[in-house]
Amino acid sequence: MKNSSHNKRHQRHKNRVKRNSTLNLTALMDIFTILVFFLLVNSSDVEVLEANKDIKLPDSVAETKPEKTIVVMVNNTDLIVQGKKVADIESVLASSEVEISELAEELAYQANKRPELTDEEKEKGRAVTVMGDKDVPYQLLKRVMTTCAKADYRDISLAVNKLELPEPDPATLQSMTEQES
């Protein structure tokens, strides 16, 4: 057999195919490094409270972000503290007392888990976030907040859904400034 150019080319091709292929991981590692930094930077911007499908929060345009505190959830059936059911709403509404004893006991238990107070907590009281369904009667929320305040949880925040305000129309802004002048 002659070593024609066709045979030589065919032999080179066979040799190339027989070689083990290798994977270059350098580019993949670069992508993952960028992805890790991106996730670390963006994960600290979001503060999310525990979601409860039974609670529909009211909407608000407030700008302040929630802090990690004890969470009291109030829906149409249950009163829940830190994920633990402490009372039925029916029994709470049936009671004529202003203070909710089951809630007060659970808040006292939570306070005993961390008895030392910071200077800010001594001044303002312990912090608590109330997640109340938008259909819960105000009288019930008032009783929950009163019970929290009597248990020295006076720094009370109400959880809401944040609404984004639409950007104002430049023509509207100009007309508003002209009216003020």
69 lies in the same domain as 156? yes
The predicted pLDDT at position 39 comes to: 82
Residue 3 confidence (pLDDT) above 70: yes
pLDDT in tens, 7-30: 888 888 877 777 666 677 787 888
Dist CA 155 CA 128 (whole Å): 6
Amino acid letter for position 155:
D
pLDDT band at 180 (very low <50, low <70, confident <90, very high): low
Is residue 97 in a domain? Answer: yes
Residue 179 lies in a domain: no
Same domain for 94 and 153, yes or no, is yes
pTM above 0.75, yes or no: no
Claim to verify: residue 93 and residue 129 sit in the same structural domain? yes
Same domain membership, residue 126 and residue 79: yes
Same structural domain, 18 and 71: no
| Residue 98 to residue 148: CA distance in whole angstroms | 11
Residue 82 in any domain: the answer is yes
Range list of H helices, 19-159 = 26-43, 89-94, 101-113, 119-124, 138-150
- Domain assignment of residue 170, yes or no: no
- Mean pLDDT across 141-153: 89
Same domain, 63 and 138: yes
- Residue 66 pLDDT exceeds 60: no
Give the count of domains, the chain: 2
Domain assignment of residue 130, given as a range: 59-162
Separation CA 164–CA 62 (nearest Å) = 9
The answer on 32 and 98 residing in a single domain is: no
- 106-136, pLDDT tens digit by residue? 988 888 888 788 888 778 888 888 888 888 8
Most confident of 28-32, 62-66, 142-146, 158-162: 142-146
33 and 109 fall within a common domain: no
Of 6-15, 75-84, 162-171, which range is least confident?
162-171
In a domain, 50, yes or no: no
151 and 89 inside one domain: yes
Q: Is 135 in the same domain as 94?
A: yes
Residues 67, 149: one domain? yes
* Residue at 74 is within a domain: yes
Same domain, 65 and 147: yes
Strand partners, 84: 81
Q: What would the pLDDT profile of 23-64 be if each residue is shown by its tens digit?
A: 777 878 888 888 888 887 776 555 555 566 666 666 666 666
